[in-house]
Amino acid sequence: MLALAPLLLPLVALADATRWLVRRRHWMGLRLYLFGIVYLTAEVGGLVALGGAWLAAGFGRFRRPLLASTFAIQQAWAGTLLAAVRGIFGMSFDVTGGEVVAPGPILLLARHASIVDNLLPAMLVSTPHHIRLRYVLKRELLSDPCLDVAGNRLPNYFVERGSDDTEGELQAIRDLARGLGPQDGVLIYPEGTRFTKDKQSRALEKLGAGDPAVFERAQRLRHVLPPRPGGTLALLQATSPADVVILAHHGLDGFAQLRDIWAGGMVNTTVRVEFWRIPGGRIPTERANQVTWLYDIWDRIDAWIETKNGEDTPQ
């Protein structure tokens, strides 16, 4: 991309200028090209650093320094990408409730709406509060080279969605959460995937054949997907009585795919983030009550998003 920049950047700029003149659209081609350069540079730099950390740790034999350096590289990688998003797209963050994040151990439940919100836990939880998060993520993310190397080196679990061995997947999630200390936490996205209206319709279609009470609650959600209880309840089993921290955000909606970002809505966006903490002693222990408790949380997130939508509506 660097070598071709003298040829491609004028063409991209011409396309952007045409879009602006015809439709008054933001100059997204240049922004995406610049972000692509930053992303690929971060990937190359991250892989070199991960290789150096492995060598420095005696070809991986000294696990403690290897894990410490890998976690630091992971934070630097995520910080670089989020800083690029903020600088190139003019995005800002308004964070409320961050003081409740620490101490650990915590189970972090995060809303999932965008390809950008994968970076939020590292920058808003791990960096400022020194919480070493373990991630429950989809296996498809291993296509990213840095995530593949660092993610498999650190204690994380990459879920195989649609696996025939559901209990095996849940047991692996429980195992991930064992032995958490005061500076540790586990992150999961209970929705399982990024919110879109199509995914919401498919999720409701599946739930329609199950518990009518759960289906009725899922139908009331407007801005979030119905939470999938399996992974979250497995973590509750393994982490009890750890506190639960909720990460809700508004302003990243509609950026689930690259084509959504191309439309320009991400430029000059203010992302509002709110945390709140639930003491472990207030979390139910029976499965049915835990499902109800999880839906209560998602009801609260949904109502919070509706409120923020109203605040952003021109009067």
Residue 53 banded pLDDT, cuts 50, 70, 90: very high
CA distance linking residue 124 with residue 58, whole number of Å = 32
**pLDDT score recorded for residue 313:** 53
- The pTM assigned to this predicted structure is 0.90
- Each residue's pLDDT tens digit, 233-284: 999 999 888 999 999 999 887 666 667 777 767 788 899 999 999 999 999 9
Q: Is the pLDDT of residue 75 over 70?
A: yes
CA distance linking residue 226 with residue 289, whole number of Å = 16
Mean pLDDT of the chain: 91
A 10 A CB-CB count for 171 gives 13
The SS3 call for residue 228 is coil
**pLDDT score recorded for residue 164:** 83
Cite the residue boundaries of each domain of the chain with CATH code 3.40.1130: 90-312
- Each residue's pLDDT tens digit, 26-41: 888 899 999 999 999 9
Least confident stretch, 18-32, 187-201, 226-240, 267-281: 18-32
Q: Do residues 160 and 224 make contact, with C-beta atoms less than 8 angstroms apart?
A: no
Residue 315 banded pLDDT, cuts 50, 70, 90: very low
Q: Is the pLDDT of residue 314 over 50?
A: no
**Domain 90-312, what architecture?**
3-Layer(aba) Sandwich (3.40)
Average the pLDDT over 102-125 and give the result. Answer: 92
CA distance linking residue 65 with residue 60, whole number of Å = 9
CA distance linking residue 277 with residue 243, whole number of Å = 7
